[in-house]
Structure 1
Amino acid sequence: MASSERGVIARHAATVLVGQLAVMAFGVTDTIVAGRYAEGALAALSVGSAIFISVYVSLMGGLQALLPVWAELHGARRTSEVGRSVRQSLYLCAAAIALGMALLLFPAPLLRWTEVPPAMRDEVEAYLQVLAFALAPALLFRLFSTLNQSLGKPQLVTWLQLASLGLKLPLSIWFTFGGAGLPAMGLVGCGWATLVVNYTMLGAAVWLLRSDPFYTGYRFWQRIEPPDWQQLRRFARLGVPAGLSVLVEVTSFTLMALFIARLGTAASAAHQIASNLTAVAYMMPLSLAIATSARVSFWLGAGDATQARRACRRGFELTVCFALLFAGGMAALRWQLAGIYSANPAVVALGATLLLATAVYHFADALQTLCVFVLRCYRVTVAPLVLYCGLLWGLGLGGGYLLAYRGFGHWSAMPSPLAFWLMGALALAVTAGLFIALLLATLRPAPGRPRLA
């Protein structure tokens, strides 16, 4: 039984991982294309992508938090209720789209607050204005992806994501460098390529929902009901803390790019290399966390708390093994990896140094990611949010800023991206330790404890 559960999680995670890596390849493609176009474009991408990722992933986290809801309904075999719940989630998605577009269309206050150099701002703003209109299809497709993950059928999503990569790569190159009558657009060209690909993926997802027999029993295509405020409040109690937690987690990572921008284009470019590789490596623990939480919620919906705890253990074992593998590879191949992104020796040298710190960062990040996803299955969302705020924003981002620009006590300032990565790794390590303790306390069976549903 243990090996069977481990196999189910591994297969689900592997399928999700392939799709997630295809999506992450969008960012890798843009980073390499921008880096080859101009060092200034790579630095501007570092800032622009930090803002977009902060907005998109935070809103996505609120939608991803609905996975346990649909997985429990699936485990309880309440098939028709899944369709109604998905239709209600469209109201939540519409609110997220409106909020996200407003933030991306008007980024100037944030750029001024973080003291991004004026020379970068025009290019960053133009890039974000294009991505603002790519946000709606991205979030709607994420809803489709979360639904399939909750039903244990992520394969269709993965195939769509792989196919989209085949479209994204040539479009980014063409729009950035120009050709065939199209003028070179530079960094903005990467944004237009993303917009085209996102709408193509959403169109394919809608077609599958309408035509694939797998979805027939869920009755998705009924007329949408008026807002069910009771159900939307339940969504909000789960999704809002989860989304805010993701906001804190992601901004503790992405705001580094904005604070590092004042150190110059070489520092920003090296940081972009480290952050891009870290984000790619993160897809493994994220995939395992999604697969594990889907199984835990399935068993909770089926009324088997023991099997739910067993699924959690199997997911944790897999996460530790792969996190060690990825962290070791990042440290051992740091020079080769940095050299893929840039031909500038100074950028490569600094990037390789940063990858030593990101190896530790990744291992701690993997552990806390699995914990927070499983805690959501048990509706534990507020405590992780509080810990994130104090540790990731306070110790990690705030500590990195102090170390980089002011120094700590007898330690003088370290005006380097390394200061942010060192403090970020420390903050994540503490976070992971506390989350593991919280998860163990949550999983511990207690006589008379009601199941959280």
Structure 2
Amino acid sequence: MNAPTALPPTLKRYLKETVRQAWPVLISAWASMAFAVIDTTMAGHTSAADLQAMSLAVSIYLTIFIGLMGVIHALIPIIGQHFGAGRLEAVGQAWGQGVWLALGLSAAGAITLLFPEAWLEFSGNINPEVMTKIRYYLYALILAMPAALIFRTIYCLGTAVSRPKVVMTINLVSIPVKALLNWAFMFGKFGLPAMGAAGAGLSTAAVSWLMLAMGLWVLRNDGFFRQFRLRPGRPRWSAQKELLRLGLPMGGSYLVEVCAFTFMALMVAREGMFVSGSHQIMANLAALCYMMPMAIGIASASLTSQAIGARDPARAMLTGRAGFVLALSGALLTSALLVSFKPLILALYTTDPDVTRLATQLLFILPIFHLFDAMQCINTYVLRAWKVAVMPLVMQVVALTGIGLIGGWYLGFGPAAGALQPIINAIMPNAPTGAATLWLTAALGLGLSALLLRLWYWRTLKRYVQH
């Protein structure tokens, strides 16, 4: 089967095509989140030390892994353009170079995981028992990293050639396996020693290699994928430079997003545990809401890159427009649900009256935050289809770090603390000043980023049409 043939371009057709490709990506994202939920809930039934170790170690691992994963995602536009142009062997060669890149990044990631003490300097004095558990958990995840990153190359390949259900199926099948291995390793079943948090890390490593084995089996035995002649081949510096030129700013974008939420949580902690609890609910809801525009963005990026490769400007513009319409519609629907079901949503998270009261006030800003977040997300992903990644990184640094974090600190905790209080009183009455300021400045930064990225997207389209 070759690249999609040209059909009469209509927005309705590409809306359907984007939805068809986006929903498996969304299910895959939710399935990946299930791993962290399983680890956290099971750690809560072992010991307080295991739970704290899990919380700290996961934050370290995810920060590293998500940044490296972002670099690997450069494969999506590269493979997508090859596939759209009908360069089938080039698809296989690009995937092979991605495997070599994943191995190199795994080595770099492993080195950073060997020294958790450097990361935990921000957390004050850690109990020696907890530190030991963190260390062993991260050591186990070093074993997982090569498999996890190579599996992301399969994810990128499947997404770029419009076969996202492969990874979705593997992710779903892996959830019960992960739960079973967690139970065995953490609690000492089947004659194994009870390893606590370290057991969760070991089960993640085992499942990661199992997922990779399933993915490689599909690539070898599925006739659709055999047409690409998928082999690692030899590493080529020219191909690695292309991947890094696009992947490093993409990985930087992912890293900026993760670090922004991490440092927001550290600053909000100054206002006490009830405010921290309400902020954590906000952060978790924002992450869950983000999954939908992210899935639409990834689907739009792959379809747009295929159209670019096929030198079909009408299709490229329509797929980008379809993604924007879907992301905007989904964001408006999500925002309406957040407003309509606020009490029910909060009841699912907490029964503490103080946390509920504070979260109720902060949640007034979340629909606006999500709308702007969705718009900057879809514009970022569609720009990546055109191999434009540096400008989205710059915008995100300005939005999330400059306006969101630095501006939020200055206006919420720094010399100008309370300067935004009139606005906060109008939008989030009785909300804690520091947390409310951070969420408000983050929303403003995302709104500005979304606007500027949209303008840059139009500029990119104009230059493409002219050439």
Shorter chain as denominator, the TM-score bin is 0.7 to 0.9
Residue 379 of structure 1: how far off its partner (Å): 2.3
Which residue of 2 is the match for residue 312 of structure 1? 320
Distance 1:422 1:122 in 2: 39
Q: Does 1:435 align with 2:444?
A: no
- CA displacement, residues 198-230 of structure 1 (integer Å, 9 cap, x when unaligned): 222111112212222222111113x622x3222
Work out which structure has the larger RCO, using CA pairs closer than 8 Å and 6 or more positions apart in sequence.
1
Q: Give the conservation status (yes or no) of the 8 Å contact 2:71–2:250.
A: yes
- CA displacement, residues 407-450 of structure 1 (integer Å, 9 cap, x when unaligned): 52554995765443333222222211211221122223676x33
Q: Give the conservation status (yes or no) of the 8 Å contact 2:398–2:445.
A: no
- CA displacement, residues 155-183 of structure 1 (integer Å, 9 cap, x when unaligned): 11111011112223344456556666666
**Matches for 1:200-279 after TM superposition, within 5 Å:** 200-221=210-231, 224-225=233-234, 227-260=235-268, 268-279=276-287
In structure 2, the CA distance between the partners of 1:270 and 1:193, relative to structure 1 (3 Å rule), is farther
In structure 2, the CA distance between the partners of 1:431 and 1:128, relative to structure 1 (3 Å rule), is farther
Q: TM-score, normalised by structure 1?
A: 0.87
Distance 1:34 1:342 in 2: 19
Cα-Cα RMSD: 3.0
Q: Give the conservation status (yes or no) of the 8 Å contact 2:67–2:252.
A: yes
Tell me which amino acid in the other structure corresponds to 1:219.
R
Q: Give the conservation status (yes or no) of the 8 Å contact 2:379–2:457.
A: yes
- Which of 109, 112, 125 aligns to 1:103? It is 112
**Matches for 1:124-163 after TM superposition, within 5 Å:** 124-163=134-173
Which residue of 1 is the match for residue 209 of structure 2? 199
Which residue of 1 is the match for residue 59 of structure 2? 50
Residue 320 of structure 1: how far off its partner (Å): 0.7
List gaps (5 residues or longer) in structure 2: 1-9, 422-431
Q: Give the conservation status (yes or no) of the 8 Å contact 1:54–1:254.
A: no
**Matches for 1:361-440 after TM superposition, within 5 Å:** 361-403=369-411, 405-406=413-414, 408-411=416-419, 417-440=435-458
Q: Give the conservation status (yes or no) of the 8 Å contact 1:34–1:42.
A: yes
* Identical aligned residues as a percent: 34
Q: Give the conservation status (yes or no) of the 8 Å contact 2:410–2:417.
A: no
Distance 1:58 1:166 in 2: 27
Q: TM-score, normalised by structure 2?
A: 0.85
Which residue of 1 is the match for residue 335 of structure 2? 327
Tell me which amino acid in the other structure corresponds to 2:453.
F
List gaps (5 residues or longer) in structure 1: none
In structure 2, the CA distance between the partners of 1:179 and 1:91, relative to structure 1 (3 Å rule), is closer
**Matches for 1:20-99 after TM superposition, within 5 Å:** 20-34=29-43, 45-99=54-108
Q: Give the conservation status (yes or no) of the 8 Å contact 1:261–1:268.
A: yes
Residue 49 of structure 1: how far off its partner (Å): 3.1
Equivalences, count:
446
In structure 2, the CA distance between the partners of 1:188 and 1:407, relative to structure 1 (3 Å rule), is farther
Q: Give the conservation status (yes or no) of the 8 Å contact 1:116–1:259.
A: no
Distance 2:297 2:214 in 1: 26
Q: Give the conservation status (yes or no) of the 8 Å contact 1:31–1:341.
A: no
Which residue of 1 is the match for residue 7 of structure 2? none
